[in-house]
């Protein structure tokens, strides 16, 4: 392969790192990468938007030779003094949006949603039936942060539950969102319960749901929902960045008593988190925590 020839011609001793972007577009290159790592002791930085195509194509995933890292939109820690909650709830925190004017931000997010989310997934031939998938994206964005009902979404888009489940898995594999499982002490019972799904960025989610022209305003249901999604997204990002190995779930009882986030921490107590976008917290806001806490183990 040309890459190998160029590296060997230049001399491996003169190369510290080799950086390859969009590696999923040429899966065969990973065989060359492994050979150069093994024989020439080279270091590679391989970037891409999805491992799904590599997995489905039985590509060499460099097991034992690669460390996987994921980059998310900016967290509140990375933004530091530039962090603005209302901005992030309305426009998300992709790095580009902070350098754009309001109208430009909307255009950018629409282009991201239409070009990358729709066309790139289609270009990689991940899905075959494009029309129901496009309908799915809008409905999934509108229901981000809610318990997933595969059958209901299937009816809404004229598809079937199996396809809808695969659509969500595509979003997860392409790093456009993640599942938040339901809490249960039994792994088997946990797997049988429906998860929630969160899009990775509020701006992209609002673009897909065609809501960019409507501001998210404090003291509204939409604001509270957006705030909850932001907190859970930020915790998910930081958990992975700091390699905490925390297990995050949500809890809902048979009586529909819900806890927004349960965090099981290795060697530490389990955290129960109720997320409220309020300036004043009352005892009534935490009554669910007191009611459920004795049933969550370990504490």
pLDDT in tens, 48-92: 776 666 655 545 566 667 788 889 999 999 999 999 999 999 999
- Predicted confidence (pLDDT) per residue in 249-284, tens digit: 999 888 888 899 999 999 998 999 999 998 888 888
Per domain, the residue ranges of the chain are 2-56, 76-239
Question: What is the average per-residue pLDDT within 159-183?
Answer: 90
Averaged pLDDT, 215-230: 94
What angle, 0 to 180 degrees and rounded to 10, lies between the N-to-C axes of helices 130-142 and 161-173?
A: 70
Check residues 8 and 204 and name the one with the higher pLDDT: 204
Q: For residue 246, give the 3-state DSSP assignment.
A: coil
Matching residue, tokens 């900016």 = 74
Give the separation between CA 61 and CA 30, rounded to whole angstroms.
Answer: 7
Q: Would the pLDDT of 221 be above 60?
A: yes
Phi, psi of 63 (to 5 degrees): -55, 130
In this structure, is the dihedral angle defined by the CA atoms of residues 55, 57, 63 and 66, taken in order, positive or negative?
negative
Instruction: Please count the residues of the chain.
Output: 299
Res 299: pLDDT:
43
Comparing 79 with 299, the larger pLDDT belongs to: 79
- In terms of C-beta distances under 8 Å and separation of at least 24 residues, what long-range contacts does 220-228 make, across chains too? 223/89, 223/277, 224/276, 224/277, 225/145, 226/89, 226/202, 227/85, 227/89, 227/275, 227/277, 228/145, 228/260, 228/275, 228/277
- Rounded distance, CA 25 to CA 50, Å? 10
Please report the DSSP string for 71-117 in residue order. --SPPHHHHGGG--HHHHHHH---GGGGGS-HHHHHHHHHHIIIIII
Cβ–Cβ under 8 Å, residues 67 and 39: no
Q: Which long-range contacts (CB under 8 A, 24 or more apart) does 118-127 make?
A: 120/49, 121/170, 121/174, 124/24, 124/50, 124/52, 124/53, 126/50, 126/52, 126/53, 126/170, 126/174, 127/167, 127/170
Q: What are phi and psi of 147, to 5 degrees?
A: -65, 130
Asked if pLDDT for residue 218 goes beyond 50, the answer is: yes
The pLDDT tens digits of the residues spanning 2-42 come to 888 888 888 778 888 999 888 877 888 888 888 888 888 88
Confidence category of residue 120, pLDDT binned at 50, 70, 90: low
CB-CB neighbours of 221 under 10 Å: 7
pTM: 0.85
Q: What is the percentage of the chain residues whose pLDDT exceeds 70?
A: 86
d(CA 252, CA 256): 6
SS3 202: helix
pLDDT over 90 percentage in the chain: 50
Q: Does residue 230 surpass a pLDDT of 70?
A: yes
- The pLDDT value recorded for residue 51 is 62
3-state secondary structure of 168: helix
- 239 falls in which pLDDT band (50, 70, 90)? very high
For tokens 């249960």, the residue is: 184
At residue 293 the predicted structure's pLDDT band, cuts being 50, 70 and 90, is: confident
Q: Which two tokens stand for residue 61?
A: 């995933």
Q: How far is CA 198 from the centre of its chain?
A: 7
DSSP summary character for residue 243: T
For the chain, the average pLDDT equals 86
Is 152 a residue whose pLDDT tops 90? yes
Tell me the two tokens of residue 123.
Answer: 């270009």
């Amino acid at each position: 392969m040309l890459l190998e020839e160029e590296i060997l011609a230049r001399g491996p001793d003169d190369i510290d790192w080799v950086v390859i972007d969009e590696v999923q577009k040429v899966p065969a290159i990973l065989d060359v990468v492994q050979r150069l790592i093994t024989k020439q002791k080279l270091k590679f930085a391989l970037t891409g938007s999805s491992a799904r195509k590599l997995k489905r194509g039985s590509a060499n995933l460099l097991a034992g030779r690669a460390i996987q890292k994921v980059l998310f939109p900016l967290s509140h820690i990375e933004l530091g003094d530039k962090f603005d909650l209302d901005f992030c709830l309305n426009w998300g925190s992709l790095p580009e949006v902070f350098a754009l004017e309001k109208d430009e931000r909307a255009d950018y997010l629409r282009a991201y949603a239409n070009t990358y989310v729709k066309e790139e997934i289609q270009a990689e031939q991940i899905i075959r039936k494009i029309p129901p998938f496009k309908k799915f994206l809008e409905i999934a964005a509108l229901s981000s942060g809610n318990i997933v009902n595969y059958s209901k979404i299937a009816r809404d888009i004229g598809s079937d539950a199996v396809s809808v489940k695969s659509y969500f898995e595509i979003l997860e594999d392409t790093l456009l969102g993640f599942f938040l499982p339901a809490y249960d002490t039994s792994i088997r019972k946990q797997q049988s319960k429906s998860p929630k799904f969160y899009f990775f960025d509020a701006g992209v989610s609002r673009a897909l749901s065609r809501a960019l022209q409507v501001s998210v305003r404090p003291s509204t249901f939409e604001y509270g929902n957006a705030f909850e999604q932001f907190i859970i997204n930020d915790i998910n990002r930081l958990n992975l960045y700091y390699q905490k190995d925390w297990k995050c779930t949500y809890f809902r009882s048979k009586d529909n008593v819900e806890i927004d986030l349960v965090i099981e921490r290795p060697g530490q107590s389990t955290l129960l988190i109720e997320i409220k976008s309020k300036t004043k917290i009352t005892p009534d806001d935490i009554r669910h925590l007191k009611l459920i806490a004795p049933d969550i183990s370990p504490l």
